[in-house]
Amino acid sequence: VGADGVERWKLYGQKWFCSHADADVAVMLARPRGAAPGTQGLGLFALPRRLEDGSRNSYRIVRLKDKLGTRSMASGEIILDGAIAYAVGDVGRGFKQMMEQVNLSRLSHGVRAASMMRRCLNEALAAARGRRAFGHAIAEYPLLRRQLMKIMLPTEQALSMYAFSADAMGRADKGDKDAANLLRILTPVYKFRACRDNIPVASQALEVKGGLGYIEEWVTARLVRDAQIGTLWEGTSNINALDVVQRAVGKSGGHKTLSAALKAKYEPSGALPGQYKGLLGATLDRVERFAEAVAADPRHEKRSRLAAGALYHATTAALMAWEGATLGAEGGDARRLLLSRLVIEHRLAPNDPLSLAEAPWEEEAMNLLLDDAPVPLAKATALVGR
């Protein structure tokens, strides 16, 4: 504690990964001398780049990482040599406080993936509509249309997750306990799956653009590189899937809160066909039981990613049904209802990959989805009921 009454700490050691190495203030965990081992003994500190008299703080960026992507953000290795830092909150609660920041950051990575996928979809649609090969716009070819759908579906799922999580976050910040519990499970579910989806979506968008997609003058090459980091930082896919199953489901019962919140959204809708509500309810119940069974038995740990993915798909199917029905009932575009059924059929229902059976509803839905014209509610409800 200085003569001015301000408590200042001195930090020593090496930080191997440091994003925004050039930031004016960094927040980091450090262990006070003599504190307990493990996460319990960690304190949270704010480390300014410059001291109060304007001089440089005592840390050095010894190397900038030569990275695959996110190259516009400097990541470095730092050596702290008695750097001045200020404790943030109670030094004994550092890790808990940091986890609040990590959760916020995990959400931001879900949103980052949602926006990157949107860019991928826009790039792919523009390329597919503009490029002609063998006498036709490539958007007319059946194989390419399927590829576009594989880009569109995860993109729209991530958008629904974004709006739902943002709403839960707003309510949780105002002290709503149910919303906080909901956000607790949505955060790792969203981070896990949207960041995972971002990688194939970016690769597919590059491919739709053809050889040009590989050239740095266009954005797709960068989108492919930048997509990779989403599954790594703020916890890898495995770490987030384990968080979903072991803590959010196993300890907090968040899957029940999630299921109840979704049913409360779509069940009162007068625009959704009763039969489709039944399908959504049965899907949510099936996924809820599966996640619970995986959480209950350590032998099922290997299925944690499957459980986290199933929760994501069931959640987005319910949300998109509600969104499509609500927008459609207001005279707007009901296309999200069609996307909802595609999620159920392609992500959650048993499928024989070698079946040649045709699904006429799906062909019609795909034509509507790849067209920009709004889909009337009556058309969408007829198709999901077929």
Ligand X SMILES: Cc1cc2nc3c(=O)[nH]c(=O)nc-3n(C[C@H](O)[C@H](O)[C@H](O)COP(=O)(O)OP(=O)(O)OC[C@H]3O[C@@H](n4cnc5c(N)ncnc54)[C@H](O)[C@@H]3O)c2cc1C
Residues that bind ligand X (CB under 6 A): 17-19, 67, 70, 75, 229, 232-233, 235-236, 238-239
Distance of CA 370 to the CA centre of its chain: 24
* Residues 196, 201: Cα–Cα separation, whole Å: 9
Closest to ligand X by CB, 154 or 235: 235
Closest to ligand X by CB, 19 or 203: 19
Closest to ligand X by CB, 76 or 254: 76
- Sign of the CA dihedral 298, 299, 304, 310? negative
Closest to ligand X by CB, 68 or 382: 68
| 349-352 LR contacts (CB < 8 Å, sep 24+) | none
Q: How far is the CB of 256 from ligand X (least distance, A)?
A: 25
Q: How far is the CB of 69 from ligand X (least distance, A)?
A: 8
Closest to ligand X by CB, 75 or 340: 75
Closest to ligand X by CB, 46 or 264: 46
Nearest to 222 by CA among 372, 7, 16, 73: 73
- To 5 degrees, how large is the angle CA 159–CA 160–CA 166? 90
78, burial (CB in 10 Å: exposed 0-12, middle 13-18, buried 19+): buried
In the block, tokens 């007319």 appear at: 140
Locate 314 and state its tokens.
Answer: 């069931």
Q: How far is the CB of 240 from ligand X (least distance, A)?
A: 9
Spatial neighbors of 237 by CB under 8 A, at least 6 apart, are: 192, 195, 196, 231, 305
Distance of CA 145 to the CA centre of its chain: 25
Q: How far is the CB of 63 from ligand X (least distance, A)?
A: 13
Q: How far is the CB of 323 from ligand X (least distance, A)?
A: 33
Q: How far is the CB of 212 from ligand X (least distance, A)?
A: 27
3-state class of 82 per DSSP?
strand
In the block, tokens 């045709």 appear at: 358
Q: How far is the CB of 19 from ligand X (least distance, A)?
A: 3
Q: How far is the CB of 202 from ligand X (least distance, A)?
A: 17
Closest to ligand X by CB, 240 or 259: 240
Question: What length is written for the chain?
Answer: 386
Closest to ligand X by CB, 99 or 359: 99
How many other CB atoms are there within 10 angstroms of residue 374's CB atom? 15
Closest to ligand X by CB, 148 or 229: 229
Spatial neighbors of 261 by CB under 8 A, at least 6 apart, are: 168, 178, 182
* Residues 76, 15: Cα–Cα separation, whole Å: 8
Q: How far is the CB of 373 from ligand X (least distance, A)?
A: 42
* Residues 320, 302: Cα–Cα separation, whole Å: 29
